[in-house]
Chains A and B, each alone.
Chain A
Amino acid sequence: MMAFEMPKETTDSRIREVTLGTTDVKVGGENVMPFCLFEGEMPNRPLIAVEVYDDNPQEWSPVVAQPLADVLADPVAWARKAQDEWGADIIALRLRSTDPKGDDNSPEEAAQTVKAVAEAVDIPVIVYGPEDVDKDGDVLKAAAIAAEGKNVVLGPAMEDNYKTIGAAALGYKQTVAAKTPIDVNLAKQLNILLSNLGVDTGKIIVDPTTGALGYGLEYTYSVMERLKLAALQQDDTMTQMPLMADVGVESWKAKEAKFPAADEPAWGDENKRGVMWEIITATTLLVAGADIVIMRHPDAIKTVREVIDNLMG
């Protein structure tokens, strides 16, 4: 009798391997759909980037603010703690203090933080601007200069400012995160535009925009999956970039994640709820094809790390 043999779909295509930072951390490189290790290989495990804010966030749910209370006001300490205690693979530094709708700090001030954080940790750093099309250009340019030699990921580069951010990345040898609104074609178009600008296709990470559980998760899932399929099955070189999911921000925006149990008793224990929200969003998108998940709560980070360990065998 013949033994059962699992049908396999193999491909010669691969996701590009992108080097982050300066200490040989790599992301991507897989030639299989997520965790289908019986068909191929994932030479680099998916990475967890831990969020660090530069504006001492005040509006957060105590469930997530509490464990971070000692570092919320100090991005450098926060980043160190993420690296040393929670085992962050990457630091995702958000320069929200520069937001023109908020504190509107100058790019130079923010650049100081970038420099300090990048020097305080050994792991790679992602620098995200305030997501303001005009301000991002100035802020990320200053960040690119401040972090010269650190190979940070600058983002989000979007259709309307990719030239400025792409040029900054080119000039100071940084990597770019390209963000487009949940659409395979738009994601691909931005990759083409960036590579036409001269950005090496091996220095682009794709942020296809994240919807959290209950807030468009299925759209993000579908777009990530389709990007991976195009990259691997159709050998579409302009979709073979590693994918990044912005999980922390989006999960903790959900009212189901942050409302206190006193307001919504039927929703259950608030201390578990938000963390679960973040875990489910992250694991779902890992299965969809995320190579990097940006996360917030230490407990969620711990669990998702275990999930990745298990899935990687």
Chain B
Amino acid sequence: MEKCKVCFHPEDRCLEVDKGENLLRAAMQADVHINASCGGEGYCGKCRVIVEKGEVTHKLGVKLTEEEVKQGYVLACCATIESDLEVRVPLETQLGDKSALTRRPPIPLKGYTLTARDWAERLPQWELNPPTAKFHLMMDKPTLEDNLSDAERIKRELSRLADMKDVVMDYPMLQSLPGLIRASSFDVTVTVLDRGRDLRAVRMEKGDTSRRQAAIAVDLGTTTVSAQLVDLQTGEIIAEASDYNGQISLGEDVIARIIYSTRSTGLAKLQSAAVNTIWNLIQQMVEKTDIEFCSITHMCLSGNTTMIHLLLGLDPRYIRVDPYIPVAQHFPWIKASNIGIRIASGVYMRCTPGVASYVGGDIVSGVLASGMFNSEKLTLYIDIGTNGEMALGNKEWMLSCSCSAGPAFEGAGVKHGMRATRGAIEQVRINEVTLEPMIITVDNRRPLGICGSGLIDTLAELFLTGILDERGKVNLDLETPRVREGNNGGEYVLAWADESGTNRDIVITDVDVDNLMRAKAAVYAGISVLLEEVGMEIDAVEEMLIAGAFGRYLEIDKAIIIGLLPDMDIEKIKFVGNGSLLGSYLMVLSKNLIAEADRIADMMTYLELSTSNRFMDQYVSAMFLPHTDIEKFPTVKRRLQEARETARLGSTNPGGGED
């Protein structure tokens, strides 16, 4: 990708971005404040800047006069960078931010995300050796001298061709065997599944079908289900799809679903909802590609313990009650058709083993994918979702726990919360002096609501600018119309009704902040208790891996400012993305890793947080911004001082932009 150098004046702040980047996003990245309230749809016309040198392509904006266009004015949100640029931010757009000159240099927005390159190093066990393989067998027809049974004949050929001894024949295959093998003149393709303990011939087809083989990887989440169709010969992901879990209408979280499952036909309904969701995804993926259903030979699926129970139709009720016992930790290879996923005959599926009732196969899968079980380094793996699940350890030992964070980071339980879809506010900056926001939305649409990363950004910015106090209460004494008393206590207006896509003011309220505080406190408390259990300080952690839905958008420094993540060297923090899906994908392709997953599940120690009051204690001390013990957050302390200083300078030197 071609790079362009963009300089913003009068700050003289320059950065390199990809050609084709949006100018407003570049400004956000350079930490140059430009007022922007409509998310980047060119609607509010506030983000006017002058391009003094260089090329941009500009969406035709109604908010600029011909005269202005001649002078080089563009709306930053509608401008695409085409070359090196010199951009001047006019004073009216900065809104008197004189102190911008003294602001701290920008901190990299996004953390490092693990990629395929890293896995080679992190997962030496990985090899392209899937648990199912197709063998094209061309056998001699039986004679009086060579009178082996049909089944023994296949076994002999498999042994000769692939050195596979003692292959067990699946019963349905035997039933079709005599007719099929003769109809194809003893020229068949047999699919063999390696279950670790035994080899099993699961399907027989006429002629040679071994050219194309595919499998399916699934992350069965409480809220979202994601799937990948994987080519077993190349290891490539051919298609991806994701959708809401169809069970949502039957209960929002795992507890509600367990309760629902105890009703008369509740369990069956939940099972069929999950199966339908997965089946629809498989259909979508197959339709997008030239892979046929019959090329699919197996599935690997990871999910939390409750989700797996519901999918397999296992009674989950004892997960919910003391002493929290699941039906099983390890699940056998089962036929997908047994639970109603009818892809083709003889398609087996495997669910990743879990650790305990509240630390499931999704975490095991993520730990597997992250390679932390191979690492010498002390690693902290965190999956932030409705439950905050985490594991601490290295190749020698692993300790895991789970805490209920609630759905706030997924946008639920927040007045204008939403998922990270089109129109969701995903990045926010607030000027320390004017308290005016700069917002960017997904796909640059007029804002409809705020998604998880936007909420974390908002919280951090509100706190840094003093709009929120340490308790997370909006300071109503500030002189700005954006702060006001609403129905739910204090609130801050991120977007006025005439700039939003909903024609209503988009606000964040005291109650929203409260829910977010609870969520962040739970995650932080979980981390603290894990570390406390092994008698370590956060400094001892050499690598922190973050998985979860917003792993891709989360700004680490903001997550630290609000005390969601511990204050640590940002370099140590890496993103995994959807760890559960990634692990499933890797297992689909490599039977070594399936065995590793079993080992990981058995080696992880589970720490039950409900049995001690340590969690509660840590939780209360984390119900504060960033934390009751500010000494644990030295960088936040410093940034707060800087922000307060900037605000003070700004307010004592008024008039910067009021001409």
Contacts and interface: CB of A to CB of B under 8 A. Distances in A.
Interface of A: 159, 183-186, 188-189, 192-193, 196, 236, 238
Nearest to B618: A185
Contacts of A193: 469-471
A238 B621 CA distance: 13
Interface string B154-198: 000000000000000000000000000000000000000000000
A185 B621 contact: yes
A196 B471 contact: no
Contact of B471 (A189, A236, A238): A189
B43 interface: no
Contacts of A186: 620
List the 10 closest A-B pairs by CB distance, nearest first: A185-B621, A185-B620, A185-B628, A188-B628, A189-B624, A189-B628, A183-B620, A192-B470, A193-B470, A186-B620
A189 B623 CA distance: 9
25 contacts: A159-B471, A183-B620, A184-B617, A184-B621, A185-B617, A185-B620, A185-B621, A185-B623, A185-B628, A186-B620, A188-B621, A188-B628, A188-B629, A189-B471, A189-B623, A189-B624, A189-B628, A192-B470, A192-B624, A192-B630, A193-B470, A193-B471, A196-B469, A196-B470, A236-B629
Given A186-B620, A189-B624, 7 more contacts: A183-B620, A184-B621, A185-B620, A188-B621, A189-B470, A192-B624, A193-B471
Nearest to A193: B470
A192 B629 CA distance: 10
Contacts of B620: 183, 185-186
Chain B contact patch, size range: 10 to 19
Nearest to A162: B471
Interface string B450-492: 0000000000000000000111000000000000000000000
Nearest to B619: A185
Interface string B359-384: 00000000000000000000000000
Contacts of A236: 629
A133 to B, nearest CB: 14
A193 B629 CA distance: 13
Nearest to A226: B617
Contacts of A238: 628
Nearest to B466: A196
Contacts of B617: 184-185
B617 to A, nearest CB: 7
A110 B470 CA distance: 33
Contacts of A185: 617, 620-621, 623-624, 628
Nearest to A192: B470
A22 B333 CA distance: 81
A193 B630 CA distance: 12
A3 to B, nearest CB: 36
Contacts of B469: 193, 196
B78 to A, nearest CB: 42
B90 to A, nearest CB: 36
Interface in B589-648: 617, 620-621, 623-624, 628-630
A238 B632 CA distance: 14
Nearest to A159: B471
A189 to B, nearest CB: 5
A198 to B, nearest CB: 13
Contacts of A192: 470, 624, 628, 630
A64 B617 CA distance: 38
Most chain B CB atoms below 10 A, which of A185, A193, A236, A238: A185
B540 to A, nearest CB: 19
Nearest to B617: A185
A238 B470 CA distance: 14
Interface in B421-472: 469-471
A238 B471 CA distance: 16
Nearest to B621: A185
A196 to B, nearest CB: 7
Contacts of A159: 471
